[in-house]
Amino acid sequence: MAQREAPGRWGMLAVICVAVVGALATWFSATAVVPELTSAWGLSASQAAWLTSAVQIGFVAGALGSSLVNLPDIVRLPRLMAASALAAGLSNAALLLEPGPGVAVALRFATGVALAGVYPPALKLMATWFVRGRGLALGLLIGALTLGSSMPHLVRAATEGLAWEAVVIATSAGTLAAAALFLGAVREGPFAFGRAVFDPRQALRVLADRPVLLANIGYFGHMWELYAMWAWMLAFGTAIAEAGVAPVPFGSASMLSFVAVASGVAGCILGGALSDRIGRCLTTAGLMAVSASCAVLIGFAFDGPSWLLGAIAVVWGISIVGDSAQFSAAVTELADTRFVGTAVTVQMGLGFALTVVSIWLVPLVAELLGGWRWSFVVLVPGPLVGAAAMLALRRRPEAVRLAGGAR
């Protein structure tokens, strides 16, 4: 019987997760201080939105570019992740030079490109340590990503009254520390995937595989909702504060954003545990149904009571990202083992491309409707389509390869 548990895997999981928290803190570092940057740099509404969208676009460019050359499959993962985290930290720190809107957007783009060398490779790296319990392990990794993404909002809430530079300094320092961890403390596990050679055509082949395609459609529906909610919860909370109809839950718009995003850590653990027990498809479809419901319900609670709004935000935060790791886990189980890194990176590149559209669309809908109250309703179709795709995958014979037969 083949070995299915690697010695030291949980310790390595902990190290990788800590490093991912540090690296991903740069993702929303500018978004968390957009009000301050708007005042300091005289940003227009369009320029402020580009500070968020540029990271997404950069990530897409980095992910698709690395997948075309099969970078995650031909370069040692710890080295790739260390170099990428270093680049992300330096690009983020360059904002301290106050370069102006145009250069700042370019720096955010560069940060996104660099993060494409951290996040997708981390998923493949984790899979080299886990065969049994892979869903939970990847759930914990996405939980680390979620916590890292929420950290700028926590830093902003904790440093209220201080200059915006405090957020940039803290997130840059965390990312540089992550680079040192990736280089000095992380290594690939014993369940390594086959080493690939350069083959640009493989990026297209992974999309032609029907089971992988269905898992990707599920992921795309999930991504349509996820980053738009994460990006605009601060604006939603600010609108509540300005309306004055009810107290902002958790004390401020920044804390509401932090709690809504960070609560997803619990969702990732829950989703990982459920996925290994009841199946990838049922877990993802169920969580997407809950998150779609929250996208509607949060509008009804805009006027309060604040406890209800806070509760919906927490449930939404848990459900919106709780299934995220399972789409990647599904690809590692369904795709050609020689090109797992490429398959995961293609999935993420296209999924993040969709986030650019949804991030752009939500404030546009808010403007058309005259306020933020119902702006999140435009996100509902994504998780509904995603849930349908995962249920279709569950009916296919190839689904027996998921989680050792747990569909």
Q: What is the pLDDT of residue 317?
A: 96
- Name the pLDDT band for 1 (thresholds 50, 70, 90): very low
Q: At residue 312, does pLDDT exceed 70? A: yes
Least confident stretch, 229-233, 322-326, 367-371: 322-326
Report domain extents, the chain.
9-186+197-405
Average pLDDT rounded to a whole number, residues 236-242: 92
Q: Under the phi-then-psi rule, with left for phi > 0, alpha for psi from -120 to 50, and beta for the rest, what region is 188? A: beta
Q: Which residues pair with 130 in a beta bridge?
A: 5
* pLDDT confidence band for 203 (50 / 70 / 90): low
The secondary structure of 366-405 as a DSSP string is HHHHTSSTTGGGGGTHHHHHHHHHHHHHHTSGGGGGGGGG
Q: How confident is the model at residue 402 (pLDDT cuts 50, 70, 90)?
A: confident
Q: Which of 73 and 260 is assigned the larger pLDDT?
A: 260
Q: Indicate whether 199 pLDDT > 70.
A: no
Average pLDDT, the chain: 87
Question: Is the pLDDT higher at 163 or at 406?
Answer: 163
Average pLDDT over residues 254-266: 93
Instruction: Tell me phi and psi for residue 271, to 5 degrees.
Output: -65, -40
pLDDT digit string, tens, across residues 144-155? 989 999 999 999
Start-to-end Cα distance in the chain: 23
Q: Which residues contact 10 (CB under 8 A, 6 or more apart)?
A: none
**How much is the pTM?**
0.83
- Choices 3.30.110.40, 1.20.1250.20, 3.30.43.10, 1.10.1740.10: CATH for 9-186+197-405: 1.20.1250.20
Q: What pLDDT, on a 0 to 100 scale, did the predictor assign at position 198?
A: 45
Q: If you average pLDDT over residues 86-114, what whole number do you get?
A: 93
Checking if the pLDDT of 194 tops 70, the result is no
Q: How far is CA 191 from CA 118, 128, 131, 272, 329, in A?
A: 20, 4, 8, 20, 14
Nearest to 197 by CA among 62, 348, 342: 342
